[in-house]
Every structure is written in structure tokens, then in C-alpha cells.
Amino acid sequence: MKPKAIFFDVDGTIISLDVAIKSFQETCKHFKIRVPISKELLEVTIGYRLTGILHKLIPEALPFTGKFTKYFEDHQIKNFKKYGKILPYVKSTFKKIKKRKIKIGIVTTKKRREAKAILKGYKLSYDILVGNDDVKNIKPDPEPVFKACKKLKVKPKDCVFVGDHPFDMQAAKFAGCLAIGVLTGWGNRKNLKKAGADYIIKDLRNLIKLLK
């Protein structure tokens, strides 16, 4: 297997989920509103736009959505190394992929500036980035994947999508990519498989084995 491009999600695939969860909790504290527990946040925050999360979880924050969003984004950018970590084998895997002349795309539900700051902070090299502010519809809709393919001038059938969430798998399959679920974040074998994963790997180290 040698794809022309490999697309990666961010939260739970490249970095730990703690960054988004703890930043959300700290933002709630700042605005003196109810602070959801981590489990509650995990169920709704990963894979959704922030406005959708507020609707589902803390509608009392809706009147100041703009301020909440700005504080949350800034907080993640300032504290991603404090709250989270880059996941095992990410850097080595990216280097091996680049060595094989395979393009790397980042497809995330984070805003572009958040994702760029985090990737730059961890010194990760990639070719293109599609954030939630680059598209009308986010994952599981295939629009972000199609956008990434268009940027790299590749066909979906020649691409692999790697992610930890069922939405990643669904977006990949709807677009026509090979879908690889990774067990470093939100998903488990059962829900990733149900969402359409072609392969499920323990961590990114196993991705290189699949490419051989």
C-alpha cells in the first residue's frame, strides 16, 4: 500500500484529548458557568463545532458565544503543552511518511489558527491543513476530505484517512478514502469498525507497517 496522501485528524490522533477538554473547562470557569465533567465533555465535544457543543451542553453560554469561542481558542493555543501532549510515534511516523514522498494533510474540526499553532509548537511538518472554518460542513460530512484532496490535487481513492473518532471513519468512507482508526483517543474497536474503518491500529507506529 502506497497512497499519494495521508490525512490525519488532530485531537486524539496527533495530540491527547486533554487539551480540548481542560481548555473547555477553564473557559467555563472564566465565564462563571457550570463546568462539565470530563466524561460529559468527551461525549459531545470531540467532533463538533463549539456552537453545537454549547447548544447541547451549556445553552446558558449561547448569548456570549463569540467571547466564549475566542477565549477557548486562545486558551488552547497558550496551554496545549501544559494540558496535553503529542501522542506516541507521531513525529517518527510523520518523518517516515515524508521520506516515502507521501503527502500529509491535516483535517480537523479545530479552527485553522488553533491547529496551526499546535502543529507549529510540536514542529510537525505537513503539506496542507483543512480546519472547520475552511468548510461549511464538518466531519462526518466528506466535505473536509474533498477539500483536502482538491488542495493536494489527488483523488480520494488514492488517499488514507487516519483518525480516532467514528466521524473520521465516516467522512473517509463517504469520500472514498481508505479509513484507518487509531486507538489513541475517543473511539474503540467496536465503534470505529461500525463507522466503517478498514483497519484499526493501536497507535501510529502500526501505520508504517500497513504502508509496507
Q: Give residue 43's pLDDT.
A: 61
Q: Give residue 35's pLDDT.
A: 80
Q: Give residue 145's pLDDT.
A: 99
List the chain pLDDT tens, one digit each, 212 residues. Answer: 789 999 999 999 999 988 888 888 899 999 998 887 766 666 656 667 777 788 778 888 888 989 999 999 999 999 999 988 999 999 999 999 999 999 999 999 999 999 999 999 999 999 999 999 999 999 999 999 999 999 999 999 999 999 999 999 999 999 999 999 999 999 999 999 999 999 999 999 999 889 87
The structure's pTM equals: 0.92
Q: Are 54 and 65 in contact (CB under 8 A)?
A: yes
Task: Classify the C-alpha dihedral 39-44-45-47 as positive or negative.
Answer: positive
CB crowding 160-185: b at 16 or more within 10 Å, else e:
bbbbbbbbbbbbbbbbebbbbbbbbb
Q: Give residue 191's pLDDT.
A: 96
**DSSP letters of 137-191?**
S-TTSSHHHHHHHHHHT--GGGEEEEESSHHHHHHHHHHT-EEEEETTSS--HHH
Return d(Cα 84, Cα 75) in angstroms, integer. 12
Return d(Cα 148, Cα 164) in angstroms, integer. 18
Q: Give residue 91's pLDDT.
A: 97
- Locus of grid cell 502500526: 206
Return d(Cα 15, Cα 88) in angstroms, integer. 9
- Locus of grid cell 488553533: 114
Q: Give residue 60's pLDDT.
A: 86
